[in-house]
Amino acid sequence: MKFDPKSRDLTVFEALLDARDQFGSGKVVIEDADKQVLDYNKLVLGSLVLGGRLTAGTGQGETVGVLLPNVAGLAVTFFALNAYGRVPALLNFTAGLRNIVSAAKTTMLHTVVTARRFVDAAKLEPVITALEKTEVVPGHHIKIIYLEDVRKQIGTLDKIKGLARSRYARRFHRSQGMTADSPAVVLFTSGTEGQPKGVVLTNRNIVTNARQMFTHADGALSSQDVVFNPLPMFHSFGLTAGTVMPVLNGMHVLLYPTPLHYRQIPKLIREKHASVLFATDTFLAGYARAADEGDLSSMRFVVAGAERVKDQTRELWTKIGTEILEGYGATECAPVIACNLPSSNRCGTVGCALPGMELAIEPVAGISSGGRLKVRGPNIMAGYVKADNPGVVVPPEQGWHDTGDIVEIDDDGYISIKGRAKRFAKIGGEMVSLAAVETLAANAWPEGQHVVVNLPDAKKGEQLILVTDTAGADKDILLQHAREEGFPELWVPKHILVVNNIPVMGSGKVDLPATTALVKQSRPLL
């Protein structure tokens, strides 16, 4: 299937209208854990009705904060804001009070949309209080809008207006000032390098990446698929890959509010006959171990991203009879850069780049094979918004995004991720990949989760410390395993720290700052 560049000249809402016309207004596309079911007609109409109230008091192009879990209401809110020419900033509710407030200031939010039920369930009252006290502009505090209140305010006149607007939805939407190159959403980096940065993705970025994925799949995905998405939409993998892509291509999306319900999720997959799952390695391992026989048998394949897929996880799903397709992306790329396919799945790689992308490899001192990956294409962000310059979008230089990843690309175009440039340690003059050392530990203790942290060392420049949840993990055992596997002894961590649980962020990635903090707190005991 050839990638169609013309499909890039649409807003997200226009692409939704195209999907409604293509697949039929009665086709169910969104369902959540509360049994809220939306077909295209309800999604479009709901967006136009809700948007009328939701955007009152805001201006065209204004960024509006959204603090909601994976529920149908979030999908409607996302499309509603786009329909009315507003830009949702999806706040990471797992990031902590400091980072959430920082994100609000960085994007100069005047309004945040949330739900009382969610605030109560997630115990976010301190966050809401802090946001209400935040002055983005002196003298003007952030206004909190609760969806429950908005729904109560919607009357007959609002519904009549929404119905009328749905009949000429394209014309109405275009009158709101939104274009393909307008910002469509602001997402946030994890703040591992300081305060979180806002990543501004345009309508072109999101719609293009959705089309790139579907085209790249080359028939592996169809409108008959039922997609299960437990990944939060504040994470680009959960937003574009898990929600927007299937909605724009006629699939039925099952939204689940948390990926951490290891026992409940396999049961729901079985009940709904889900055929495609988007998740991370950590979550996939948890689902496979918790599932009863037959719970996951409807799965044709799972798409894994955000972290490397372990051999042990792949084996668990192979026993179930389902193939893991490992992919690769970055929030700044909307997010998918590459992915394996059922017809050409090479374990140990993240597949080939999506159509329409350019790749460049920059040599890195001390690394003999591969280099630092830079990417360019229509899915690359408009730019960053940073805390030290709120509201100002800084575009990537000449359209190139530096991923910060060290990769190798073989003759067939398959990409292998060797690690983050910042996750290499220089020990005794040699560059050591922390990811490779984590693989060594995973081979020694397959059932455990392992993270390697590097700290300064007076003698060798840096030292490695393994953080693991494997009780009884011992350096001598790891050293012996390294010798048997042919790993240099230099790669064996100087110390091992055993913990009950390794910190994980809401997106499924290991929380490296929190893990590093654990190591620093424990250093006197090591």
Give the chain's domains with CATH numbers.
5-406 (3.40.50.12780), 428-525 (3.30.300.30)
Terminal-residue alpha carbon distance, the chain = 56
Residue in 122, 388, 446 with CA at minimum distance from that of residue 257: 122
Q: Describe the strand order of the beta sheet including 226-229 as a list of residue ranges.
A: 37-39, 28-32, 252-255, 226-229, 276-279, 301-304, 323-329, 336-339, 352-353
Q: Which helix (H) or strand (E) holds 228?
A: strand 226-229
Going residue by residue through the chain, which has 526 residues, state the pLDDT in tens, using 9 for 90 and above.
455 655 558 999 999 999 999 999 999 999 999 999 999 999 999 999 999 999 888 899 999 999 999 999 999 999 999 999 999 999 998 888 888 898 999 999 999 999 999 999 999 999 999 999 988 877 788 999 999 999 998 888 888 888 888 899 999 999 999 999 999 999 998 654 557 889 999 999 999 999 999 999 888 899 999 999 999 999 899 999 999 999 999 999 999 998 889 999 999 999 999 999 999 888 898 899 999 989 999 999 899 988 788 888 888 999 898 889 999 998 999 999 999 998 889 988 999 999 999 999 988 776 777 788 999 999 999 999 998 888 899 999 999 998 888 888 998 999 988 776 556 665 654 556 676 677 777 777 877 778 777 776 655 556 778 888 887 777 777 777 767 766 666 667 777 878 877 877 655 566 766 777 777 777 655 5
Give residue 312's identity as a one-letter amino acid code. Q
pLDDT at res. 158: 85
3-class DSSP string for 371-436: EEEEEECCCCCCEEECCCCCCCEECCHHHCEEEEEEEEECCCCCEEEEEEHHHEEEECCEEEEHHH
> Does residue 349 contact residue 415 with C-beta atoms inside 8 Å?
yes
pLDDT given at position 44: 95
pLDDT of residue 1: 47
Q: Are 396 and 332 in contact (CB under 8 A)?
A: yes
pLDDT on residue 310: 84
b/e map 128-148, b = 16+ CB within 10 Å: bebbeebebeeeeebebbbbe
Structure tokens that stand for 410 in this block? 């073989």
Under DSSP, the state recorded for 242 is I
Q: What is the pLDDT of residue 499?
A: 82
Q: What are phi and psi of 276, to 5 degrees?
A: -135, 135
pTM of the complete model:
0.82
Name the amino acid, one letter, at 121.
Answer: A
Give the sign of the dihedral formed by CA 370, CA 374, CA 377, CA 380. Answer: positive
